Amino acid sequence: MNLAIDIGNTSLKKASFSNSKVSNIKHINYSKNNFNKILFSLKKDLDKYDNIYICSVVPELDIIIKKQLSKSKIHFIKKGLLKSYVHKTVNLKQLGIDRLVNVFSVSQIYPKNKNFIIIDLGTATTLDLIINNQYFGGAILPGLKTSYSNLISLASGINSITFQELNDVIGKDTKGALLSGFNTGYKLMIEAYIKKLISIYKLRFKVIFTGGYASNILNKQIKYLYKQDLTLLGIAHYHNLTK
């Protein structure tokens, strides 16, 4: 049995996988000021799994893992094996490995489709355009919760609130106004971006949402797909390339 690990800027997701199918998904929040929680978890995993495949966007943590843990079982995703999924006009060096894994993932999960728009809502929100199974470009926006948390911390007249689903287009007080922006406003921004891409490229795209905050945007919509484990599935498929 193998383990797939997706390390983001504020959290880690991991899942067991066999034959490109993932199971037992776990989520760990962490702080960049203290990586001990992740290292402790990885040391336990080394005893349980044959191989551990890691997709990470945190270089400083990668260095620590490579220094302190067994190199024989741990394999970091390499861009070189996936470069055929990137269009020649794109700067491969500056393309995040998580976004590249997502491109590879959709090509394996949906072999009948070649054109995709992937929206990943995490610490940052990324929109990625895939044409003929190649990454063609993308956009990076402030993350849903990140942007609102920053707003609350900077504006003295706004108190901390608990974010929740709300269908109201406008609010009648500060809390209601923030929640309407958090739910309706951000959703409309994403949808406008999707429509703009479709109108420019005039292709039939399969639109896929992923990431921890995707459920806030989708809010029971059925016209878009939600694939919570998209990156983990991409890591599991990547294992087949290394055999």
Q: What is the pLDDT of residue 159?
A: 67
Helices 59-68 and 36-46, packing angle to 10 deg: 40
Residue at 50 is within a domain = no
Low-confidence ranges of the chain (pLDDT < 50): none
What CATH code is carried by the domain that includes residue 135? Answer: 3.30.420.40
The angle at the Cα of 110, spanning 234 to 206, to the nearest 5 degrees, equals: 105
β-bridge pairing 11-18 and 21-29: antiparallel
184 secondary structure, DSSP code:
I
- Does 234 reside within a domain? yes
Of the candidates 151, 119, 126, the residue with the CA atom closest to the CA atom of residue 223? 119
Residue 77 lies in a domain: no
| Residue 162 placed within a domain | yes
d(CA 30, CA 60): 14
Residue 216 lies in a domain: yes
- Tell me if 54 sits within 8 A of 7, measured CB to CB: yes
Residue pair 219/187 in contact (Cβ under 8 Å)? The answer is yes
Residue 213, SS3?
A: coil
Number of domains in the chain: 1
pTM score, two decimals? 0.89
Q: Examine residue 1 and state whether it is found in any structural domain, yes or no.
A: no
79 falls within a domain: no
What confidence score (pLDDT) does residue 215 get?
Answer: 65
Residue 173: per-residue pLDDT: 83
Residues of the domain holding 220: 110-243
Give a yes or no: residue 26 inside a domain. Answer: no
Q: What amino acid positions are annotated as catalytic residues?
A: 98
